[in-house]
Each structure stands twice: as structure tokens, then as C-alpha cells.
Amino acid sequence: MHNDIKEVLYTEQQLEQKVQELGRKISEDYQGRNLFVICVLKGAFIFMADLVKHITVPLELDFMAVSSYGQSTKSSGVVKIIKDLDVPLEGRDVLIVEDIIDSGLTLSYLIDILERRNAHSVSVVALFDKPARRTVELTPDYTGFTLPDEFIVGYGLDYAEKYRNLPYVGILKEEVYSKA
């Protein structure tokens, strides 16, 4: 285990099992259709890579990067698109892949943008959800794990851009934050 990790919340095996389960459910629901899968960078990159291996309907995928405009505007949920999609969404069945939903602001703004591009449907899969932290009404169509209000790292999720490479998900030791 990494020296900065206090506790492992989900092991590599638990994550793999959950991702498989989500892939199966999504494949059932989209039977007979084609999917357009969007990975929201950077946190969802490992989740998306593992998830698509378990989706059996034909799909295309792309990446989007968004960032909040800053603390003062964050409450309005306004985000800036850093990297946009390469193709139009007109008529497509879109699945947004998110690492974790916290306040829900980033995602609700993103859903708004994508729906205005005349997608046929827009759904969301989030590996982690912290519903207690929500400031806007938003329930993902597919959720991996529901978490209490705790900050997690690993499996794509960072603290100060580190720990994304950990194959498990855990909580950092207090001293890691106080050093920062």
C-alpha cells in the first residue's frame, strides 16, 4: 500500500467486480442501440477504460475536459470546456462517464450543454456518488458506490494531481493535507 494512504476503501477486485456489473447493466439497457460514450477527464479515465471492456453494444467514445471558472462562479455551475468532442451529438445515445459526483454542478452544466446539441438521449454513469453533498438535483442513471462525505483518491482520482495511478481507492492520511 502507498505510504500516504490511511485506509483502502475499495480494493482492485471490488472495483473490477462493480465495473463489470455496471457494464452488464448498461449493455442490457442499450440492447439494439449504439452508444456514444463520453469520458470526463481526467478523473474518469481508468473507469472508462475498464467499463467499455464490459459493454457489449456497439459504441464510439470520446473525451471531454472541463474546468470550473473559479470559486466565485462555481456555485453557478458555470464550467469552461477545455477540450470538446470531435463529432456532433445529433441523434446519438450519449453516456457520460464520471468518476465521482459531489455537488453535481459540473455534471449538471455538462448535461445541459450536451442536451442542447440535440442528442437523442443523455445518461450518466458515476463510479462514486456522494449524494449528501449535492447542491443541485441530479441522480446518475448508474451508480457504482455511494459514499459518505469523504475525500477519496486512486483509480483515476487525484489529490493535487497525484495518486491517480493507484489501482485501489483509499483515504489519505491527515498529514498529507497538512504538508500541502
| Phi, psi of 54, rounded to the nearest 5 degrees | -110, 10
Say how far apart CA 91 and CA 18 lie, in whole Å: 30
- Which residues in the 18-77 window bind ligand 5GP by CB under 6 A? 43
User: Smaller CB distance to ligand 5GP: residue 59 or 131?
Assistant: 131
Residue 153 sits in the site that holds ligand 5GP (CB under 6 A)? yes
Active site residue 102: yes
Who contacts 92 (Cβ-Cβ below 8 Å, separation ≥6)?
34, 36, 119, 120
Q: Are the CB atoms for 80 and 66 separated by under 8 Å?
A: yes
- Among positions 157, 166, 172, 176, the unique one binding ligand 5GP when judged by CB under 6 A: 157
Q: Rounded CA gap, 46 and 158, in Å?
A: 12
Q: Give residues in contact with Mg ion (CB under 5 A).
A: 40, 43, 98-99, 158
Q: Contact at 8 Å (CB) between 148 and 132?
A: yes
The one of ligand 5GP, Mg ion, none whose footprint includes residue 96, by CB under 5 to 8 A per kind, is none
Among residues 30 and 156, whose Cβ is nearest to ligand 5GP?
Answer: 156
- Write out the catalytic residue numbers: 102
* Interface positions with ligand 5GP (CB under 6 A): 43, 98-107, 151-153, 157-159
